[in-house]
Structure 1
C-alpha cells in the first residue's frame, strides 16, 4: 500500500495511525508527512531531520492514489514542495484542503490539475479544523474506526464549497505575511 511505501522511505513521522478502511484498497493516515527530506548525514547513509514537513496531515488513499489530502503548512511555499514530491500519487479526483499559517485570507490554487483550498490558521489542529469546515460533528463520526472517520470527511467534500478566489501561486504569494504559528500541541 502507498502509506507502507512512504513509511519505508521515512516520509511519515509522528504517526497517529496508518490503517485500512472498510472499503477495498482504501487506507487512511494521520500524522506528519515529509515534504523535503534531510541530507545524508554520515557515511552510513543516515539522514538528517527533514527540512520541511506537513503537520497534522490527513491522507486517504484508494487504489494507491491520494484521494484526500489535508494538513497544516507553516508557509505557502510548502504547497509547491508537497506537489513536487507527491504529484505522481494524486488521484484525478483528489480533494485537497490545507491550513496555511502565513496566508492572510482564504483562497484556492490549481496545481497539477488539482484545486487546493487554502485557509489561514495560526492555532488549532488541522483535523479539528477540517471537521469544522466540513460541518461534521463528533456524533457524525461516533462508532467509526479512525480510518472510517477520514473516509467520512472525504465523502463530505461532495458538498464542500471552498472560500476565496482561484489565484495563481504568484498571486497567492501576495496574500502572505510574516505570521508564525502560536503552538502545535500541549505545553
Structure 2
C-alpha cells in the first residue's frame, strides 16, 4: 500500500472546499494512513464548522476510521452527518464535542447505523479533551510533531471501547 497525498476518504470533502485551515493534510507516520487536522466546513450559509477536527483514514478506504471535533451546538449534528455522508461507516470511531451539552452528559447517538460519541466541552480544546479522555501522556505528546500526535490520538481512539447511554438525536434535543 503506497501513501499518497490524497486519501479516497478525503477527496470529496477536499473537492467541495470543506477542509480548511489544515495543520496536517497528508500522510502520517503510520504506513498507509492519511490524516487531517484543521476545520471542516459543514454549511456555508449560515457558516457551520466542525472546529479543531482530527481525522484519519487508510489511503485506500473511502471512509474515515477516526474523527473528532467540536460543534458550537448539539443542533448542528445533522449538518455534520449530512456533510460526511458516505465518508463515515459503522465501526468507525467518531467523537464529537458539543459546547451546549451539560458537563455530565455523555451519549452515543446513531445515525443510519453509524455511532457517534457525543460529549461536552467547556473552554478547553478538543486536543486537550482527547488527551485526557483517551489517557494519553501529555509529556510525550508535547515532543511529537503534528502527524505523530494525530497518529497517537487515532490509535488510542480506535481502541476505545467504553459505551455510554445510546439515545436518539431527538432525545438529545429534549435534554438540552
TM over 0.5: yes
Select 2:14's aligned residue among 7, 15, 19: 7
- Report which of the two structures shows the higher radius of gyration computed on alpha carbons: 1
Equivalent positions of 1:156-171 (< 5 A) are: 156-157=156-157, 158-162=159-163, 164-171=164-171
State the SS of the aligned residue for 2:65: strand
Select 1:34's aligned residue among 35, 41, 48: 41
Following TM superposition, the consecutive aligned residue runs of length 4 or more in structure 1 with deviations greater than 3 angstroms are 2-5, 139-145
Structure 1: gaps spanning 5 or more residues: 39-49, 177-187
Distance 1:120 1:79 in 2: 13
Per residue, is there more helix in 1 or in 2?
A: 2
Question: In the TM superposition, what is the alpha-carbon distance from 1:142 to its structure 2 partner?
Answer: 5.9
Select 2:25's aligned residue among 1, 18, 25: 18
Equivalent positions of 1:1-187 (< 5 A) are: 1=7, 2-3=9-10, 5-38=12-45, 51-62=47-58, 63-104=61-102, 105-141=105-141, 144-157=144-157, 158-162=159-163, 164-176=164-176
TM-score (ref. length: structure 1): 0.78
* Equivalent residue pairs, number: 164
Root-mean-square deviation (Å): 2.0
State the SS of the aligned residue for 1:29: strand
